Amino acid sequence: MLRYAFSRLLALSVSLCVASVIIFAAIEIVPGDPAAYMLGLNAAPDTVAALRAELGLDQGAVARYFTWVTGVLQGDFGTSYTYRTPVGEMIGERLWISLPLAMFALTLSTAIAVPVGLWAAATRGRAPDLGSMGATQLGVAVPNFWFAMILVTIFAIHLRWFSAGGFPGWDGGLLPGLKALTLPAIALALPQASILARVMRSALIDTLGEGYIRTARAKGLTRGQVLWRHAFRNALIPVLTILGLQFSFLLAGGIIIENVFFLPGLGRLIFQAIAQRDLIVVESVVMLLVFSVILVTFLVDIAYAAVDPRLRRS
Amino acid sequence: MLAVRDLSVSLAGRPVLTGIDFTIAPGEILGLIGESGSGKSMTALALLRLLPEGFAQTGRVTLQNQALHAQSERAMCRVRGNRVGMIFQEPMTALNPLQSIGRQVAETLRLHRGQTTRAARAEAAAVLARVGLPAGDFPLTLYPHQLSGGQRQRVGIAIAIACRPDLLIADEPTTALDVSTEAEILDLIRRLVAEDGLSVLFITHDLAVTSTMADRVAVMQAGRIVETGPVSRVLRAPQHSYTQALLDAARPGAAMKAAPTGDALIAVERLRRTYPGRRRHLFDRPPPLVAVDGVSFTLGKGERLGLVGASGSGKSTLTRALLGLEPRQGGTLCIDGTPVPASGAMPRALRAKIQVVFQDPSGSFNPRHKVARLIAEPFHLHPAPPKGPARARAVATALEAVGLRAGDADRYIHEFSGGQRQRIARARALILRPAALLLDEAVSALDVSVRGHILGLIDALAREHGLALLFISHALHVVRSVTSRVMVMSAGRIVEEGPTAEVLTRPQHAYTRALLAAAPRFEGP
């Protein structure tokens, strides 16, 4: 198990190095000089040159790559071109919204999907299965911003249970913060839960056709016991894969939801940074997202091995 | 002990089992024989009321005066695994891969005896030791993937007998195992029956196994029991024509005479295939695993050669190497005098000369293609493949040659039975008119009567086309009647080679003798 974890960890570091090079190269290719952009159309060439020198843009690409990477490793993401504040601080602030939102949405989606998937698989072909799978079809098809607008209309405008947007910060306590994130989390979670429930159901149905399920029934286990003790854990691998992918998506993919609910999250930060050619912010946020994807993949790999003993030896 | 009266099963109104009647006395082994699809496994599942959804069953099943057909589902759960244990055919899939063997055996005990985890584990260790897996060598924490097929089947048996049931249902428990493992498992079942006084319903399609295991037999055909009686009487003097047909098909044919052979079609010299060993750390250089170790032989034009060995002996790797599907790490391979490169693609002209039929024909057909397309598939090896009506004619001829109708070309593979799929696999292999046919366990999975038909078909086709045949099998009796020369393979080497009759009657190598001794023999009346 330890060796497996170590080999996954090695793979993780290699992926990170490769990703950092690709991100840096991609940003290099993007047209538009941040210094010229910041100073406007009428700036004198020597002013632009001076700003370029100040931002370190006059150095060679390789030198700038290493400055950036060593900085990131030490927690120094550089200074934003437009806001002149440390990028690390900007990301930190936003992360305190995006990360809880992603976790909240993921928890909700799992809490909805697992029971629905189990129920649908247990009643395969009958009314509960057909009904819940019809509902998930709708959940997959309808875009999440539309859900968001429906939720706002019902719960914020008519019922006035939640505010329609904005974020009070965590200073006022956990509850107001969570309350502000509830509607966005539901809007994010519903499509994800629909996908996850369908995956859960089909994985369970595959598993229920296996020989060891028949063995378990012949042992004297009831249908419910078989589903829970022998099918559920065995069906988890595809579910874990989807969960890992969903987390990465939820962390950054909430741009539209963040806009609908006026949340100052990572998605909006990167959106603004791209518009303003604040390349160092773009670079850093993308690197952070890549890091989170790779980290989650690593955790999913470890979870695979925890679930399936056959993977522990490779 | 068990009495079954007028048991019938139907699926959507279509009868699957009709009026099944039999009894099993305490301590008696009843052999239930018949071809696949005759309803043997369905009968077993119906006894436990474990039929898949959609099946409806009627009739009376009485176990020691308890009417199982009238019990609630909850009461049936207390019968299953407790009073009736069941062993399944596929040891590879019958165990949960994610749970340790100790836990899987202990689960039955906890369920029916209400034992604590600790007590159940202790007893599971004792049960596993009884089936030949002592905790010293096989700790309870092992997972199924760490065990061989035979060891897994022992775990399956341990689960079935853990609660000391009155009745054991064994559904083809040794069909998926090789001969030596099969003999061990049969011995184990015999011993447990003697020790516990178990009644057994022993389901098999293998008459040889039945003759050594059962006290009485019931013969099934198309969902009915056509004959029942003591094993000695039924196998010696069958009264039903179907039983007679089964017996005729199972009787070993006379060994073939050694035939003079033409020029070498396949010539193999010191062929070697190795796989990289498992690396233990980053800079490790592990020794390679040798699957085929310096094998040399020739297959003459029109010759019939057998290749026999237990599973894992390297037979299939050698077959794949002959087809150019595996690179070689040493040695030479010549087909019809043309050397084949050690790695990379085999030239098409050579590939067209050798065709293969694998063990499981259904796995080798794309279910979305019609038979016509499946059979015409090898034409891409042809320099000028026939088109249009010529192609359709070739397909029709190939189908008729294997005893099917030309009209079958428009059907899909799932519409055919196992035996018919074997025929289609042969039609596909023969459409290019190859010089040699490799048959990799191509008849092992078939029931005796189907096997007889298929072997007859191969014989006729080989005579007609002057085909060379390489029979690869773990079943000695198959090779006996259809090959003139046989090679015995063990641990990647050919340990013995000679005329079939001689090798099978006077084996020289210890391994061949062990293989022969382990095979259940059915000499017939």
Confidence check: pLDDT of A3 > 60: yes
- Could you give the CA distance from residue A310 to residue A4 in angstroms, rounded to a whole number? 11
Q: Which amino acid is at B380?
A: H
* B355: helix, strand or coil: strand
- The per-residue pLDDT for range B290-301, each reduced to its tens digit, is 888 889 998 888
Q: Which of A251, A237, A239, A129 has its CA nearest to residue A188?
A: A251
Q: Chain A residues with CB inside 8 Å of B108's CB?
A: 219-220
Tell which wins on pLDDT, B174 or B44. Answer: B44
Please state the pTM of the whole predicted model: 0.73
Q: Does A221 touch chain B (CB under 8 A)?
A: yes
Number of A–B residue contacts, CB under 8 Å = 72
For A32-94, give the DSSP string. Answer: --HHHHHH-TT--HHHHHHHHHHHTTTS-HHHHHHHHHHHHHTT---B-TTT-SBHHHHHHHH
For residue B320, CA distances in Å to A235, B291, B328, B354 come to 34, 12, 10, 11
Cα angle value B169/B173/B178 (rounded, 5°): 170
| Residue with token string 């090898």 | B378
**Local structure of A211: helix, strand or coil:** helix
Per-chain mean pLDDT for chain A:
85
Residue B259 reports pLDDT greater than 70? no
Answer yes or no: is pLDDT of A1 > 80: no
Residue B22 pLDDT? 93
Determine how β-strand B304-308 pairs with β-strand B485-490: parallel
What average pLDDT does range B44-67 have in this prediction? 89
Nearest to B90 among A211, A229, A308 (CB): A211
Cross-chain Cβ contact B77/A221 below 8 Å? yes
The chain A residue lying nearest B51, using CA atoms, is A214
| pLDDT of B257 over the 60 cut | no
Please state the rounded mean pLDDT for residues B416-433. Answer: 81
Under 8 Å between Cβ of A102 and A254: yes
Chain A: closest CA distance from residue B488 (Å)? 33
Whole-complex ipTM? 0.74
CB neighbourhood size of A53 (10 A): 12
Helix axes A279-307, A87-122, angle to 10 degrees: 40
Report residue B30 as tokens.
């009843």
Determine the longest span between alpha carbons in chain B, in angstroms. Answer: 73
pLDDT bucket at B397, cuts 50 / 70 / 90: confident
Give the closest of B78, B95, B98 to A215, CB-based: B95
The answer to whether A211 contacts B82, with C-beta atoms less than 8 Å apart, is no
Average the pLDDT over each of A76-85, A126-135, B18-27, B274-283 and give the range with the smallest value: B274-283
Q: Domains in chain A and their CATH numbers? A: 94-313 (1.10.3720.10)
Confidence of residue B249 (pLDDT cuts 50, 70, 90): low
The answer to whether A229 contacts chain B (CB < 8 Å) is yes
Distance CA B165, CA B81 (A): 7
With a cut of 90, say whether residue B85 has pLDDT above it. yes
Please name the amino acid found at residue B292. V
Instruction: Check A234 against B95: CB less than 8 A apart.
Output: no
Chain B: give the shortest CA distance to residue A306, in Å: 10
Helix, strand, coil percentages for chain B (3-state, nearest 5) = 40, 25, 35
Please check the confidence at residue B454 and state whether its pLDDT lies above 80.
no
Q: How confident is the model at residue B46 (pLDDT cuts 50, 70, 90)?
A: very high
pLDDT at B506 over 80: yes
Average pLDDT score over residue span A113-123: 92
Query: A217–B80: do the CB atoms touch at under 8 Å?
Result: yes
Q: How far is the alpha carbon of B276 from chain A, nearest alpha carbon, in Å?
A: 14
Alpha-carbon gap, residue A243 to A192, rounded angstroms = 9
In terms of average pLDDT, the best of A35-39, A54-58, B190-194, B499-503 is B190-194
Chain A residues near residue B85 by CB distance under 8 angstroms: 218
Is residue A279 within 8 A of residue A30, CB to CB? The reply is yes
With CA atoms as reference, the chain A residue closest to B87 would be A215
Using a 10 angstrom Cβ sphere, with 0-12 exposed, 13-18 middle and 19 or more buried, the burial of residue B365 is buried
A35, A47, A52, A56, B203 from A44: Cα distances, Å: 11, 5, 13, 18, 94
pLDDT range class, residue A114, cuts 50, 70, 90: very high
**Side chain identity, residue B304:** R
DSSP annotation of B256 reads: P
Question: Kind of pairing, strands B338-339 and B354-357?
Answer: unpaired
The dihedral over CA atoms of B94, B95, B96, B102, expressed in degrees to the nearest 10, equals 160
The pLDDT of residue B442 is above 80 = no
| pLDDT tens digits for range A187-243 | 989 999 999 999 999 999 999 888 899 999 999 999 889 998 999 988 988 898 898
Query: What single letter denotes the amino acid at residue B493?
Result: R
Give the pairing of strands B436-440 and B354-357.
parallel
Candidates B96, B127, B172, partner chain A, best to mutate (most A CBs within 10 A): B96
Percent of chain A at pLDDT above 90?
18
- Angle between helix A279-307 and helix A236-252 axes, rounded to 10 deg: 170
DSSP H helical ranges for A166-278 = 174-208, 211-219, 223-226, 236-252, 255-260, 266-275
Task: Identify the band that residue B525 occupies on the pLDDT scale cut at 50, 70 and 90.
Answer: very low
Q: What is the mean pLDDT of residues A273-282?
A: 83
Are A220 and B77 within 8 A, CB to CB?
yes
Q: Are B516 and B336 in contact (CB under 8 A)?
A: no
**How far apart (Å, rounded) are the C-alpha atoms in residues B19 and B224?**
7
Flag if A230 and B96 touch (Cβ within 8 Å): yes
φ/ψ of residue B80, rounded to 5? -65, 130
Q: Which two tokens stand for residue A190?
A: 């519903």
The whole-chain average pLDDT of chain B stands at 84
Q: Which of A219, A222, A229 sits opposite B159 (nearest CB)?
A: A219
DSSP three-state, residue B388: helix
* A204, A210, A215: best to mutate for the B interface, most B CBs within 10 A: A215
Per-residue HEC secondary structure of B55-85 comes to EEEEEEEEECCEEHHHCCHHHHHHHECCCEE
CB contact under 8 Å between B80 and A218, yes or no, is yes
Nearest-CA distance A107 → chain B (Å): 25
Residue B78 identity (one-letter amino acid): R
Query: Contact, B356 vs B315, CB < 8 A?
Result: no
Nearest-CA residue of chain B relative to A222?
A: B77
Please say if the pLDDT value at position B212 is more than 50. yes
At B177 the pLDDT is 78
Q: Does A220 touch chain B (CB under 8 A)?
A: yes
Interface-testing mutation among A1, A7, A207, A212, with chain B (most B C-beta atoms within 10 A): A212
* Cα distance between residue B319 and residue B298, in whole Å: 13
